[in-house]
Amino acid sequence: MLITRQDREILRLALPAFGSLVAEPLFLIADYAIVGHGLGTTAVGALGVAGTVLSTLVYLCVFLAYGTTASVARQIGAGNHTRAMRGGVDGMWLAFAIGVALIVICWPLSPAIVELFGAAPGQSAEAVTYLRISLLGTPAMLVVLAGTGVLRGMQDTRTPLVVAIGSFALNAVLNAWFVLGLDWGIAGSAWGTVLAQTIGAAVYLRVVVQGARRAGVSLAPGLSGIKQAGTAGVALLIRTVCLRIVLLVATAVATRLGTAELAAHAIVTQLWTLLALALDAIAIAGQAITGRSLGAGDAEGTRAATRRMVWWGLWSGVLLGLLVVAGRPFFPGVFDADPQVTAELLAVLWVVALFQPISGIVFVLDGVLIGAGDQRYLAWAGVWTTLAYLPVALVAGDLVVLWLALGVWMIARLVTLGGRAYGTRWLVTGG
């Protein structure tokens, strides 16, 4: 099929978005590599505990990016750059406020949070050290999320890619210097990440401040705008919590099944996450394009773009599924899996490949409805699809059935999101 102008716009937004999505997880990967090389196994375990806590906090706050993308894109489409920048400024203030609140709440609770993971005493002390220092960077981390949403809403996904790559490189250099050069221990790793995140946030602040000044928008927080962003964020938070419940239940069931099953599940989950990042890039394009076209009052154009992005999601899923099938015989060797884990992996990878096309459509529709500002429906859909998943997952007697339960969840999401997208209630136009 010929590449159309609409396709080029989708790719213009999706390809840089994919790069920035992949770059962000490299923060912790760089930390693991440097800490493991310089400090040993105990420190790596401590980093694993603290990193899990931090990644969960950031994951739950991803609504700061998604909600801001939708609101800014809609105002851009309506030709109202002043309101777009007002929404962007308020979104970043909300991010900063949530970051400060997380410091206030989690700092004194850090030992108790770490204790929940059952780490050894030496690991617990280092995990608390890393967590407490890293918490100081949460306002910057969340400002980066909101700033990313502002730029995506302005149809700019290249700048977030540049900032993500630059922050990753700086993080690696600072961590190597502090841990290996200055011998600061695990605290050095935390400080390196905090400084890299803070500089990344400063770049976003500069871009947004410049845009606000050009639009004549005050940099002071607007309480009504912050409240509106927070209200929309609650619905997206419910959606995100539902997604997290599904993943946590899957891990808990895999743990119950046995050691080999848990190891295989952990490996396949990392592959699934990588595939999801690839598909999520099209969803991000969907957020930006949908918000802008609805803001411009173009409902038919929105439908046409949605159909085209669904096509991209479907065939991207088909391609990824075929790649999983092609790489299936070699995948266990990458992780030096023992025979029992290998057997589990080879069986589950068929399921992963099977559901990639469905996942591609689901991710696109999710992004389209987020861009349309249909957060309340997404929250309810998240609840119902989770309820459809839980009975199947909880009775799973082997790992293949558990991943088939995840397939049931994706089919439930396809039904709820596809049914909504087929209708017209989400096609709310104007600024």
Can you give the pLDDT of all 431 residues of the chain as single tens digits? 567 888 888 889 988 988 788 766 666 666 777 887 788 877 877 877 888 788 888 888 988 999 899 999 999 999 999 999 999 999 999 999 999 999 999 999 999 988 887 767 778 889 899 999 999 999 999 999 999 999 999 999 999 999 988 988 898 899 999 999 999 999 999 999 999 999 999 999 999 999 999 999 999 988 888 888 888 788 889 999 999 899 889 988 988 888 888 888 888 887 888 889 889 999 999 999 999 999 999 999 999 999 999 999 999 999 999 999 999 998 888 766 688 888 988 999 999 999 999 999 999 999 999 999 999 999 999 999 999 999 999 999 899 999 999 999 999 999 999 999 999 999 999 87
User: Three-class SS of residue 250?
Assistant: helix
Give the C-alpha separation, 187 to 133, whole Å.
Answer: 7
Indicate the pTM of the whole model: 0.88
Per-residue model confidence (pLDDT) at position 336 = 67
Tokens of 417: 């999101």
The angle at the Cα of 8, spanning 74 to 71, to the nearest 5 degrees, equals 10
Nearest Cα to Cα of residue 187 among 175, 197, 171 = 175
Tokens of 327: 């790489």
Give the C-alpha separation, 363 to 359, whole Å.
Answer: 6
Helices marked H in 176-258: 186-214, 223-257
Type of residue found at 72: V
Tokens of 294: 């609805």
Residue listed under structure tokens 């739950």 = 60
Type of residue found at 324: V
Per-residue model confidence (pLDDT) at position 28 = 62
Instruction: For residue 294, count other CB atoms closer than 10 A to its CB.
Output: 27
Evaluate whether 175 touches 30 at the Cβ level (below 8 Å).
Answer: yes
Give the C-alpha separation, 161 to 144, whole Å.
Answer: 12
